[in-house]
Structure 1
Amino acid sequence: MPQRPKPLDDTVSTRAWFGLEVRNWRRVRRLSSAALGAKVNVSGTLVERIEKGERSCNERLTARFDEALDAGGALNRLWRRVEEEATVVPSDADKTSAQTAPDGFRAAPAGMLVDETTYSDGRPSDVNRRSFVAVSGLAAIAPGSVAGLVAEPSLPKSVRPSDIAQVGAAADTLAGWDNLFGGAGIVRSTWTGQLAWAKGLLNVPYPPSLEASLFTAVGRLAVVIGASAFDAYAHKEAEQLLNFGTWCAEQANNWHLRATALNWRARQAVWCGHPDVGLTLADNGLVRSDRLTPREQAMLHNARARAWARMGRPQETLTAIGQSDDIFSTAQKGEDVPWMAYYDDAQHHGDTGHAAFDIALLPGQSPTTARTRLQRAIDGHTGAYVRSRALSGTKLATLLMLAGEPQEAAVIASRALDEVGKLQSKRALTDVRDLAKAGARYARRPDVAGMRARIRSTVLV
């Protein structure tokens, strides 16, 4: 009987991540290691050793892998991250052996499994390895004012379905608060104890029948909190939480949660100025698109569109938006997991509208696509999604201001500012600052002057 392939730990380094992705793509294309080796003119043994991280690859062989596996450039982009990591000279503190998540997370040693190169002070590092957090290391990622107050969670002797239901309810509640108020407010003030208790469940006995649902619930809570931390510009915490959420999704074999986690990781990377990393993460989310619903696929194509737009690549951006539209049009009611309920027509047009915004004023481009989509998002968002509506409204007002329509821009900005004033969202404040700058050229107009004064006195103070 053939041996089961060795589980790969992609948390060790970016090279280990690359090896796992080669294996994933090979399996998607239903190729043996020998068959792939024949396509790229190397032995099957070498392919296996590259997948396990035991042998390095190089740019030329990576290009052959990417072409043979029809990976669309995903492996090429990821290999560039491997090369960047190789250029980093480790300090003495980095020379100690790194902890890695074991096959069974319940046996994880105490302390945080931290990647030394996570986001810091709002700026992403040059190396984007995956990192995970063990339950006893929670204080290290908790807000400074809260970390010392986190008590040891009172955990059950064994996990019950009702415990998992509590974790799910916490995720639902925090997600609702986040949509209404933004990530820097009540969500950030209350998540620490909830996550400590939820992750503590992974360290107590549970029946095998509950394993998938347990990891899914804990992982989703981590993703919700990670997305909220991103909104609050707590980028180091956000990266750790979203990485942990991805790991939980993979432990649960839950492709829907994995897609959601990778979408947020991609969006954070793009926002932080690393669109190439974001594109790679979105591509990885689409590796097994046959296991995803149309809304989930559309969501990831939107992340790709945002990445291409930040690179200043209008044609690729519009192609990704078109792919997202085509897939979204096939979505059927009732086929998605409950947490995808937010991704409706308004969200779809808001996400694609934000991508179109970034290319709207490039030479030869028209603002019409961004304008139409953002307006449709504003009109479609309900009161449960105040932040999304405010973000789209601010973007549309900025676009119109830059396009030379200050009167209409000021009208749209007025409603957006009403809603931004209710939020604790640093992403929203960044967009408002951009709106103020866009209106500077019309500062003598009374309506625009009033808008800018309102921003100074009520929003940015």
Structure 2
Amino acid sequence: MPQPPKQLDASASPREWFGAELRHWRMNVAGLSLQQLAAKAHVSREVIRRIEVGDYNCRLETAIALDRALNTGGVLVRGLGHAFGDRKGHRDDNFCATAPSSGAVTPLRGPMLATETLTAQGSNEPVDRRSFLAVPGLAALAATPGAGRLLSPAQPTHLPKEIQPSDIQELIEAATFLSRLDHQYGGDGIVKQTASTAMMWAEDLLHVSCAPGLRQQLFAAVARLGVVVGASQFDAYAHQDARQTFRFAAACAEEAKEWHLRAKSYSFLSRQAVWIGEPDEGLTFAELGLARADRLTATERAMLHTARARAFAKMGEVQQTLSAVGDADDAFAHTHPQEDPPWMAYYDEAQHNGDTGHALYDLALRGHDPTRAARRLITAVKGHGDRYARSRAISRTKLASLTMATGDPDQAAHIGHQALSEVGNLHSRRAVDDIRELGRFAASHRTNGNAVSLLERVSTTVPA
């Protein structure tokens, strides 16, 4: 006879508070069994059970998956550091146990929370101006050398009276850290909220007294953060916010006379425009980014020529697409990573093949030879490591769709199942939309059992 669930005392310890909070959201809010939540979150049933009874240290990745599956708004990630401590095992001594949430997001109160609340861009939900400091799981990830005070719970919440070099360094470190989260987990959910609140703080810093010698550095740091924040908003489909943030980043880069950041801002503006069905505007942004190309590195020129190729491909301009891909290949052949700014480290051979492969994919769907696109997408999938999980998942999904549309549906289904498993671990609206496209291609093979099986999984995992 099944045993009744262990009774938990949320006030007994931070660990039991966390377990009670998880059980409340699972049973009282979502109405799910352990097995149902395990299937939805792709987390072992036994792991969930042990977390609930306070017998297992919940990891950040697990908390993110559970928050997403239960639609908690980030309650579990917020409580992670309080319950289990940071990487050094330190807990918040100011922990104050509360009853499980009634459904609203109610972060635990601690010294790192500011009293002022604002509304984040693109959201009607109130969030703390510095809510990125109130995410213990993120703070734990950031507890590495060089992470800086900006992502530390000890960071003061008041604006400085005058900009110091340390303030600028914190912006740079925050951009680096958030970019890592965006690439690895996708830009939606808690990453978007964290990035957006960080951007509000950065914008406020531009109104603080700043010595002339630091002014250009400050604007460059804000531009760099803006590129990262815009990228997360783009991935979360907050398109108006993303476009405004990219434009703001480009303006800050120009104020700082930072041609490299200006190029990166226009590259993202181009990619976003192409994505939302405005390839002509995307081409214009790419051309703007190439202004004074002599001041850019070979890698940056390759990045912008790839943006041109993707715009031309969406417009159905075959020869111009192939020419732009050739320009991108020529530039990339002369790349020297040591010459690139730090934020261009992502644009390696895998990224170049993935981006050009996406352009050739659009041509293949119009009836052109799919071999070149497939070859490049395969190279991208093999080359992307876990640090760039989203890029790998998107390229794998495109490869599956290309194979389903032009090749063997059995092989396509195999690739597609791998892509679905990867996308299930991401918070990326772009990746989800690509999966939907794969489902549409699979639907054209109703007599193929493997294609039908993939379509059923797509329909279950990614509702229309």
| TM-score interval (norm. to shorter) | 0.5 to 0.7
Give 2:450's aligned residue. Answer: 447
**3-state SS of 2:206 partner:** helix
In structure 2, the partner of 1:236 is 240
Aligned ranges for residues 134-145 of structure 1 at < 5 Å? 139=119, 141-145=121-125
**CA drift at 1:302:** 0.5
Which position in structure 2 is the counterpart of 1:301? Answer: 305
**Other-structure match for 1:219:** 223
- Are 1:150 and 2:129 counterparts? yes
TM-aligned CA deviation for residue 139 of structure 1: 4.3
The amino acid across from 2:124 in the alignment is G
> Could you say what secondary structure the match of 1:200 adopts?
helix
Classify 1:146/1:176 alpha carbon distance in 2 versus 1 (closer, same or farther; 3 Å): farther
- Which of the numbers 309, 323, 330 marks the counterpart of 1:326? 330
Query: What is the aligned residue count?
Result: 324
Instruction: Quote the residue 1:253 is aligned against.
Output: 257
* 1-structure distance, mates of 2:353, 2:329: 9
For 1:70-95, what per-residue CA distance to the aligned partner results, in whole angstroms no more than 9, with x for missing partners?
xxxxxxxxxxxxxxxxxxxxxxxxxx
Cα-to-partner distance string for 1:331-373 (whole Å, 9 max, x where unaligned): 113100001000000000000000111111324x200111110
SS in 2 for 1:218: helix
- Aligned-pair distance for 1:141? 2.4
Q: Which amino acid aligns with 1:216?
A: A
Distance 2:175 2:162 in 1: 21
1:100-249 matches, cutoff 5 A: 139=119, 141-146=121-126, 149-150=128-129, 154-249=158-253
Asked whether the 8 Å contact 2:231–2:268 carries over to 1, the reply is: yes
| Deviations 1:266-288 (CA, angstroms, capped at 9, x unpaired) | 11111111111110110011110
Which residue in the other structure is 1:412 paired with?
A: 415
Residue 390 of structure 2 corresponds to 387
CA shift for structure 1 position 159 = 0.7
TM-score normalized with structure 2 length: 0.67
TM-superposed deviation, 1:142 = 4.8
> Once the two structures are aligned, what percentage of the paired residues are identical?
49
C-alpha separation between the residues in 2 aligned to 1:294 and 1:182?
27
Could you tell me which residue of structure 2 aligns to residue 100 of structure 1? none
Deviation per CA, 1:216-272: give whole Å up to 9, x if none: 111111111111111111111001111100000000000000000000001111111
Range that drifts further, 393-402 or 410-419 = 410-419
Other structure's SS at 1:154 match: coil
**CA-CA distance at 1:404 after TM superposition:** 3.1
Cα displacement (A) at 1:442:
1.5
Amino acid at match of 2:408: E
Confirm whether residue 427 of structure 1 aligns to residue 430 of structure 2.
Answer: yes
Paired with 2:462 and 2:430, the residues of 1 have a C-alpha distance of: 13
Whether the 8 Å CA contact 1:401–1:439 is kept in 2: the answer is yes
Match of 1:270 in 2: 274
For 1:209 and 1:151, locate their aligned partners in 2 and report how far apart those are by CA, in whole Å.
Answer: 27
Check conservation: 1:164, 1:214, Cα contact below 8 A. Answer: yes
CA 1:454–1:151 in 2, change beyond 3 Å: closer, same or farther?
closer
Q: What's the Cα RMSD here?
A: 1.9
**Structure 1 residue identity aligned to 2:190:** I
| Mapped partners of 1:344, 1:441: distance in 2 | 35
Distance in 2 separating the partners of 1:217 and 1:181:
23
* Partner amino acid, structure 1, of 2:223: G
Aligned-residue offset at 1:386: 0.5
Indicate if the aligned counterparts of 1:168 and 1:217 stay in contact, CA closer than 8 A. Answer: yes
1:302-381 paired onto structure 2 within 5 Å = 302-363=306-367, 365-381=368-384
Distance 1:234 1:401 in 2: 30
- Long gaps (5+) in structure 1: 1-137
Counterpart of 1:196, as a letter, is M
Task: State which of 281, 290, 294 in structure 1 corresponds to 2:294.
Answer: 290
For the 8 Å contact 1:142–1:192, the answer to whether it is kept is: no
CA–CA distance in 1 between the matches of 2:307 and 2:282?
A: 7
Match of 1:58 in 2: none
Letter in 2 for 1:337: P
Gapped regions of structure 2 (runs ≥ 5):
1-117, 132-156
